[in-house]
Structure 1
């Protein structure tokens, strides 16, 4: 074969590049060899964060377990339990301390109950076809974690050999040496323990971005060898989808808080969504929410953050993209900032928003346009002549359609849709067939959730 010198040079160069890339892969197998897949049960799922301490007067596993049938009826499919481990006593904050100051990864907080009572919680959830995630803190531990005695080399220290907090105002915890391979192995074995011995279905990883991605990749591969797990990263970092199924939509959450406070226009939500679509693949699960334990305790209650538009933002967060999160007490219109370090019982009332959330979560599970990741529908913004007050969009997957119309104004609004948005739809809240014409009117702070 007669090959010109320029083509020969090109081929030789490509071979060298290929050889180099192959050698890099051989040197870093953990970061390149494994591609996780979300478990099948997560495709149409919604997630509910459980604050055991504040959930009941008892604040125990057993007391929460009694609520599992109610939550199943509401449409919840994934339970995320805030950390269940013993809480450190040295330098603890408040009288009860932070869940995230872990003293032993293989034990349960005796204030919550026993391991057998925790096992019963898991088994009860599984009986109701629900899945349970544990909150996992891999970046730091309590000052009196068992490793500080058995393996002090697992920690970072200052120039005098003293343990150090990861962040100045996290003075109740100390930084692990997250690059230490022996520590990483012990951490993965502890994660395996709860999956293999108790049937836990996955993890929510606290400050996941502060731990090396290759650690999470190895951990995910090991866990999936026990059974397919679901992994949620507290982070908004595309790289972490090498190991995690779902990440936080933090930018969206901050944006809707700013809109709720009157500090941003509705158009800021368009910008936040476009940023999400640009940064993340459609296959990446994204968690959308109005609040969680951090936002509730440190930023404000739902009424404080969103005022009369809270239900509008809740409808949006359940339908606009990804998987919706509900935090403990939101079904009772949570009007409290729950104390983080003390007992502060949720005021449950009569669950006034339980039917509201049931409607949202049921539609999520039944209409493929709202499914998670690749299985879900595309997003199409619906433009009106009152984009200053009305936010509207469709989700479309094959023949399934969801049409959302939200009036954020303090006044009734008459507005006109662009072509293509008219016709008859099913109203998920009124359970009536309704007609959407080119000219439309909505009452203040109201929402329409329509489907086909």
Structure 2
């Protein structure tokens, strides 16, 4: 299969919920090997380059027990699924007992067969890698305790939520230093060179089974962060995990995609350590600050070599649903921007249908929701719009939105940018405000001069004729409603 596009479109699917839903729809048990061809063809028709099957690996019995007993989690389940039953709760997909496909989903051979079916439709497969921790009942607890962070009886007594006892030893739970530990996990000790080699071997083995990996909380295992969290130093000093591990993958599979979930302004650092793409959580956070579209524009002035390696999203399994968080119209404005920016464009199962309930990852069943047909039609047009070489191979530039008249400051609510490939021009504009907006956008394309151009809005099919000289100065005049958005193709 050919290499990934420069700006790929990836669709995250909750494997457990998807298979449960398909089984209900088709009236028979469906595992990975039995997914109807029509369902896979539907993904291909939506123009995705890759499918991230979240949560395929074997879940932990200990995690399942904890997930069925923790009061805070039970409350979260009931909010998302009022009639939740114990058998709906299958444990966290991020407390992995073994990197084999969970028998609940059909096992390794069914995943391999599904990958071939996806490849026949030009769809690449992305899977999870959780570097920081393993399930607390993983085989390494008994077989390789030296690969894991251990504690003392005194630490266990003083901080019983941070540590647990197994086989006469005390182990640390996996953790993000800013939050409580994940009590269904055990922390891998990256200070240990043998542990790093073992995790590298696992990572390279996983790369044989898919076309990309989404690496959970990738910054936690960098030397700087790990040693700030746990103390000590890496053996040998100066060592790190990701650079060597990713080089090992790229030697075997040069076109393999590595996506890092990363926060704390460490995106650039992880790119330098070898990741192809890193989460752009800062952009998402700025979308949430709905009173400051200028913050979004400032974010987009960063160097293009950095920006083209960011993964843009307006929802995923960790965040609220976009339709609920931003409202149906607001979600269109931010999605139209995120999906047309350079970088990896990540969309989420249910987002295209306007679902508003976030699914806890421990559940295998979701409450049925009605499809928002207006949002569904919007996303279909948006995905059709970006299914063009200009959005994958073109050159990108952020544009300035100028005041339509003196004293009109609504132009600050607009974010405009354009793509160019040869003689193909596309302009995308979003009004990120709940108020109407007027502005001029100078297009900065001398090739427009001296001609009349038809501007076709790919999100509405509206058409406008404009003189090229006017598009250069004073620019394209726009009068947009609250949360309005355009993607104009020039002809």
TM interval, short-chain normalised: 0.7 to 0.9
Normalising by structure 1, report the TM-score: 0.80
Deviations 1:91-136 (A, max 9, x none): 532332110001112x111121121111121111111111111110
In structure 2, the residue matched to 1:343 is 364
Q: CA RMSD in A?
A: 2.6
- Higher strand content, 1 or 2: 2
Aligned-pair distance for 1:405? Answer: 2.5
Query: Which of these residues, 369, 383, 402, is aligned with residue 383 of structure 1?
Result: 402
Instruction: Provide the C-alpha distance between the structure 1 equivalents of 2:417 and 2:459, rounded to a whole number of angstroms.
Output: 17
Instruction: Provide the C-alpha distance between the structure 1 equivalents of 2:478 and 2:297, rounded to a whole number of angstroms.
Output: 22
Number of residues of Structure 1 aligned to a counterpart in Structure 2? 396
CA contact (8 A) 1:49 1:326 kept: yes
**What residue ranges of structure 2 are gaps of 5+ in the alignment?**
24-29, 69-88, 154-168, 224-239, 405-409, 471-475
Matched, 1:326 2:321: no
Q: How does 1:50-61 map to 2 (within 5 A)?
A: 50-57=13-20, 58=23, 60-61=31-32
Query: Which of these residues, 84, 107, 123, is aligned with residue 114 of structure 1?
Result: 107
User: SS in structure 2 opposite 1:86?
Assistant: strand
Aligned-pair distance for 1:218? Answer: 1.8
Aligned-pair distance for 1:400? Answer: 3.1
Structure 2 CA distance for partners of 1:113 and 1:384, relative to 1, 3 Å = farther
Query: Which of these residues, 247, 251, 265, is aligned with residue 221 of structure 1?
Result: 247
Aligned-pair distance for 1:350? Answer: 5.4
Matched, 1:142 2:135: yes
Structure 2 CA distance for partners of 1:320 and 1:192, relative to 1, 3 Å = closer
CA contact (8 A) 1:54 1:344 kept: yes
Matched, 1:303 2:323: yes
In structure 2, the residue matched to 1:171 is 183
Structure 2 CA distance for partners of 1:350 and 1:336, relative to 1, 3 Å = closer
Structure 2 CA distance for partners of 1:41 and 1:132, relative to 1, 3 Å = same
Deviations 1:403-440 (A, max 9, x none): 12223444554x24154489532211233432367543
In structure 2, the residue matched to 1:243 is 274
Deviations 1:31-67 (A, max 9, x none): xxxxxxxx83232421111111112424742465642
Instruction: Provide the C-alpha distance between the structure 2 equivalents of 1:283 and 1:291, rounded to a whole number of angstroms.
Output: 19
Matched, 1:102 2:96: yes
Instruction: Provide the C-alpha distance between the structure 1 equivalents of 2:341 and 2:308, rounded to a whole number of angstroms.
Output: 15
Instruction: Provide the C-alpha distance between the structure 2 equivalents of 1:265 and 1:120, rounded to a whole number of angstroms.
Output: 48
User: SS in structure 2 opposite 1:163?
Assistant: strand
In structure 1, the residue matched to 2:44 is 72
Aligned-pair distance for 1:211? Answer: 1.5
Aligned-pair distance for 1:388? Answer: 4.4
CA contact (8 A) 1:412 1:441 kept: yes
Structure 2 CA distance for partners of 1:102 and 1:290, relative to 1, 3 Å = same
User: SS in structure 1 opposite 2:4?
Assistant: helix
**What residue ranges of structure 1 are gaps of 5+ in the alignment?**
1-38
Instruction: Provide the C-alpha distance between the structure 2 equivalents of 1:410 and 1:239, rounded to a whole number of angstroms.
Output: 36
User: SS in structure 2 opposite 1:310?
Assistant: helix
Matched, 1:205 2:215: yes
Instruction: Provide the C-alpha distance between the structure 2 equivalents of 1:433 and 1:396, rounded to a whole number of angstroms.
Output: 20
Aligned-pair distance for 1:222? Answer: 1.9
Aligned-pair distance for 1:376? Answer: 4.0
Structure 2 CA distance for partners of 1:192 and 1:65, relative to 1, 3 Å = farther
Matched, 1:162 2:162: no
User: SS in structure 1 opposite 2:278?
Assistant: strand
